[in-house]
Structure 1
Amino acid sequence: MSKLATVLAAIDAANAKDPRMDEGQPEALLYGQRMSAECDRLFPNASEVLQIAARGQHIERWVLKRADFPEGRAGYLKWRRDLGAHHASRVGELMAQAGYSEDEIAEASSMLRKEGIKRNDQVQALEDVICFVFIKWYFAPFSGKHSPEKILDIVAKTARKMSAKARARALSEFDLPADLAAAFDV
């Protein structure tokens, strides 16, 4: 088995332990599979490190619960930072076990902590994949739970995270209402 296949299988094994279910599968496992599928579709020549970061984006996400952090924006941001550090640490451990170099591990860790978004092509590629997965699989359920104002705000924030190329592609691939599509004109 290749190093890449070994790491992806290890990520899947960790995510298969997610007690939360989505479409009859552990939630993190399904999310990782969706991330890999979108990564393959958007970046067919993706580096192994980008493929690993995409699959491991939510590794063991259930371990750090949002409810265990303070309410409000500061608590939310701390939770997200701690999640990124956890994802980077766990993926790094699995990469090391499979024989990846320290530089490759550092690159994946940087991607998972979102260091250099808008400045590092690989970090931006991962963010574009994340945004496409959100729009494709999670936006509709999310929008059913929130006000139109909150939805517009989230769409605008999502669009700002994306590269110009990804925003244009999203507009061509997704049938968004005019007000939401306008949010992609960043």
Structure 2
Amino acid sequence: MTALSDLPVSFAAARKAIDDSHAEDPKTAPSADGSDKKVPNELHYARKMSRWLAVRSPDASPTLQLACRAQHFRRLFPSKKVHVQLVYESSSLINLTRGKRWEIPRDSFPMTRTGYLTWRAKQKTQAAEKITTLLSSIPSSSSAAAAALSAEDIDRVAALVRKENLSADTETQVLEDVACLVFLDDQLDDFGKRDDVDEDKMVNILRKTWAKMSPRGREIALDMRLSERAKTLVGKALAG
């Protein structure tokens, strides 16, 4: 399997700090190694992001590796009731399924399309602020004997987490591709089993999500091992 390049010591310490925070998630997911072991959901998701980043961009920069590891850092996942509303608001299925978002309830904003977009922007801003604070505290908060990350590197990670200049920034597009790939790999089948999401909605959201991916991201997605149901949905989305 393709692997990412080793991180410099300071970046490796930063990744550990990010993972330590993810490990606080009380919700768990099956371990990716096929064992019976459960892992914190956010840590599972972060590892999946790194795995697909290695496929999408094996030469990813250290800052992109950190941004992928932290791309929805400590956000709050909406309740099931709010989920139903999001199905109608979102232009991307990825926006509905990104793990446990801890600190900004969806229902703290109006349940409208404008309210949804405001909530999403606030999430990105807060995640970037929190990851900036965390990375700026290293090495004081870490036992690793590593030099602190530069302010420039920290700012770059935060900009990627905010997904700035998505249409023009190659690394931001890579991060978006990776999030889409993780969804297809890890979440599509479970999402499709929900009572509040019918096939038409799935196809429509998949179609809009596909439009956000780069040609390379789409190429990888088409080569993924998907369930027969997932293949059918993707096929219908692309046929339209």
Give yes or no for TM over 0.5: yes
C-alpha displacement of 1:40: 1.9
Of 74-83 and 143-152, more deviation after overlay is shown by: 74-83
Distance (Å, rounded) in 2 between the aligned partners of 1:121 and 1:133 = 19
Which residue in 2 is equivalent to 1:49? 63
C-alpha displacement of 1:18: 1.7
- TM-score using structure 1 length: 0.90
Q: In the alignment, which of 2, 24, 44 is matched to residue 9 of structure 2?
A: 2
Report if the CA contact (8 A) 1:167-1:184 is conserved: no
Which residue in 2 is equivalent to 1:19? 26
Of 60-69 and 82-91, more deviation after overlay is shown by: 60-69
Distance (Å, rounded) in 2 between the aligned partners of 1:17 and 1:91 = 15
Q: Match of 1:79, as an amino acid?
A: W
Distance (Å, rounded) in 2 between the aligned partners of 1:162 and 1:136 = 15
Q: In the alignment, which of 118, 132, 153 is matched to residue 104 of structure 1?
A: 153
Matched, 1:34 2:48: yes
Which residue in 1 is equivalent to 2:231? 177
Larger RCO (CA under 8 A, 6+ residues apart): 2
C-alpha displacement of 1:122: 0.6
Which runs of 5 or more structure 2 residues have no equivalent in the other structure? 1-7, 31-37, 76-101, 139-147
Q: Secondary structure at the match of 1:71?
A: coil
Runs of 4+ that moved beyond 4 A: none
Q: In the alignment, which of 68, 73, 76 is matched to residue 108 of structure 2?
A: 68
Of 62-71 and 170-179, more deviation after overlay is shown by: 170-179
Q: Which has the higher helix share?
A: 1
Spell out, residue by residue over 1:53-101, the C-alpha distance to the aligned partner (whole angstroms, 9 max, x if none). Answer: 0000121121222233321222221221111112111222232233222
Report if the CA contact (8 A) 1:3-1:100 is conserved: yes
Which residue in 1 is equivalent to 2:174? 125
Report if the CA contact (8 A) 1:31-1:58 is conserved: no
Matched, 1:156 2:207: yes
C-alpha displacement of 1:177: 3.3
Report if the CA contact (8 A) 2:63-2:156 is conserved: yes
Q: In the alignment, which of 123, 129, 153 is matched to residue 83 of structure 1?
A: 123
C-alpha displacement of 1:185: 7.3
Identity of aligned residues (%): 32
Of 94-103 and 27-36, more deviation after overlay is shown by: 94-103
Count of residues paired in the alignment: 186
Distance (Å, rounded) in 2 between the aligned partners of 1:119 and 1:46 = 17
